[in-house]
Amino acid sequence: MKATALDPDTLTPGARRVLDSASELFYERGITAVGVDLIAQHSGVTKRTLYNRFGSKEALVATYLLARDRRWRAHVAGALATSGLTPQERATAPFRALRTWMLDNRRGCAFINALAELPDPEHPGHRVAADQQQWLLELFTSLATEADLRDPGDLAHQLLCLYEGALAVQTPATTRSSAETVADAASVLVRAAAPSAP
Amino acid sequence: MKATALDPDTLTPGARRVLDSASELFYERGITAVGVDLIAQHSGVTKRTLYNRFGSKEALVATYLLARDRRWRAHVAGALATSGLTPQERATAPFRALRTWMLDNRRGCAFINALAELPDPEHPGHRVAADQQQWLLELFTSLATEADLRDPGDLAHQLLCLYEGALAVQTPATTRSSAETVADAASVLVRAAAPSAP
DNA sequence: GGGAAGGTTCACAGATCAGTATACGCGAGG
DNA sequence: CCTCGCGTATACTGATCTGTGAACCTTCCC
């Protein structure tokens, strides 16, 4: 009956394994396409345990997205913690985080994919996915403001689009990855918005 | 048993209605979440007819994506047919096409969404979706080349990411739409790659 | 007249879906 | 000792999924 996400950091050992399996399967094969029976089998846990811990598939999906969101925010925080960055370099730091992130996440943005499968705003996972974009937009906005860039809101919007686009575009025949190519574009946009620029 | 896409332009009246209903439902609610029974009911046609015409849900999905791809290409062609455009304006013309397109397509990029739901490369719809991105990448590349811009391949890759990103990002609290904001970013990138630029 | 094409009606298969019921095992902490 | 938290095992419900079988009704065209 429960429909809200659990705290991914306080889980019983069985629930942990369920969430790990669900994360992999949902991301790799899609949320709707993966059934609870498969998740239970893959995690070596009974379906009964899955429901005792999470209450419903909805809640498991929401927890999966929440856990992924936390991982991503920690990953970005790591890139921002680098010392000796200029304010402008800080504004494009998430793109450097994106490069390493995409090495292990080749199936696009999990939140965009989730929104594609969960159009219902009432679904608890929908809000988690929407919040993730909002958070990133605000992060870009504050970074742009701290770097004294023009039109921080618009610039942040543009950087967010570049970021989501890099995740969406499957790397083409080009030798360089989308993350690297897009990081260059972000630098160009940031320089163009610099206070000293023409 | 058929698994390949039909030609969306040569359809019987019943098949036409099926495809129209499927297009709306697949885009709005997701491919896996929509069953053939719902499509048949929504289009006022028997499930038997649906299978007589399309052979399988797979094939219907592939046809849906193919039809959408043709609509989009025609839409872009319209924007490129505008007279009096400079080569640099032509390079960003798809972004002007995007603005009007997004007025009626508020659920993101149908092809990205489809790839999220159809990870299997063997699925006939997968290839249609992948081809769409490839086509757009090549279009941007040739437009950049014709405008004599530096690194046409990389620039096209960046523009493609901007394009997909604009579709993926649900318009935030900002007053301007993603399409407009991203069109500005595209202009900045194009100007920065102009032969006369610093 | 006689096909052939497009569509309808309705029943039905076989699989898979989310979720539940009941009963049991086991270890830790009071 | 005894309960409670965690997990196991198995069977089951009812709904929904894709896909099929068989018979029948038009309309158009040769």
Give domain status of residue B134, yes or no.
yes
B82 contacts: CB under 8 Å, gap ≥ 6: B93
**pLDDT given at position B173:** 65
Q: Which residues touch strand D (CB under 7 A)?
A: A 12-15, 44-49, 52-53; B 1, 34-38, 47-48, 51, 55-58
Give domain status of residue A10, yes or no.
no
Give domain status of residue A138, yes or no.
yes
Show the low-confidence residues of chain B (pLDDT under 70).
1-2, 172-174, 197-198
B83 contacts: CB under 8 Å, gap ≥ 6: none
Give domain status of residue A47, yes or no.
no
Give domain status of residue B29, yes or no.
yes
Give domain status of residue A22, yes or no.
no
Task: For residue B29, list chain A residues with Cβ-Cβ distance below 8 A.
Answer: 119
**pLDDT given at position A197:** 55
Mean pLDDT of A55-78: 97
Mean pLDDT of A41-63: 97
> Is the model's pLDDT at A48 over the cut of 60?
yes
**CA dist A16 → A36, A149, A150, B165 (Å):** 15, 43, 45, 33
Mean pLDDT of A76-90: 95
The two tokens of residue A130 are 């929407």
Mean pLDDT of A189-194: 94
| Candidate from B113, B133, B169 with C-beta closest to A164 | B169
Q: Cα(A183)–Cα(A75) distance, rounded to whole angstroms?
A: 17
- Contact status, residue B144 vs residue B193, Cβ threshold 8 Å: yes
**pLDDT given at position A195:** 85
Tokens 């570049």 -> residue: A162
Question: Range of A87's domain?
Answer: 62-192
Give domain status of residue B72, yes or no.
yes
CA distance A151 to chain B (A): 11
Give domain status of residue B4, yes or no.
no
For the packed helices A47-54 and A57-80, what is the interaxial angle rounded to 10 degrees? 70
- Contact status, residue A163 vs residue A182, Cβ threshold 8 Å: yes
Alpha helix positions (H), chain A:
13-29, 36-42, 47-54, 57-80, 87-91, 93-104, 110-117, 124-146, 152-168, 178-192
Residue A126 CA to its chain's centroid (Å): 13
Residue B150 CA to its chain's centroid (Å): 27
Task: For residue B172, list chain A residues with Cβ-Cβ distance below 8 A.
Answer: 133-134, 137, 157
| Candidate from A30, A119, A163 with C-beta closest to B116 | A30
Based on the structure, what is the number of domains in chain A? Answer: 1
Q: Which nucleotide is nearest to B50 (CA to C1')?
A: C7
DSSP A118: -
pLDDT tens string A140-168:
999 999 999 999 999 999 999 999 999 99
**pLDDT given at position A113:** 98
CATH of the domain at B150: 1.10.357.10
**pLDDT given at position B194:** 85
Q: Cα(A98)–Cα(A93) distance, rounded to whole angstroms?
A: 9
The SS3 of residue A94 is helix
Q: Cα(B47)–Cα(B25) distance, rounded to whole angstroms?
A: 16
CA distance B98 to chain A (A): 14
Q: Cα(B8)–Cα(B56) distance, rounded to whole angstroms?
A: 15
> Is the model's pLDDT at A138 over the cut of 70?
yes
Residue type, A76: V
Q: Cα(A97)–Cα(B115) distance, rounded to whole angstroms?
A: 24
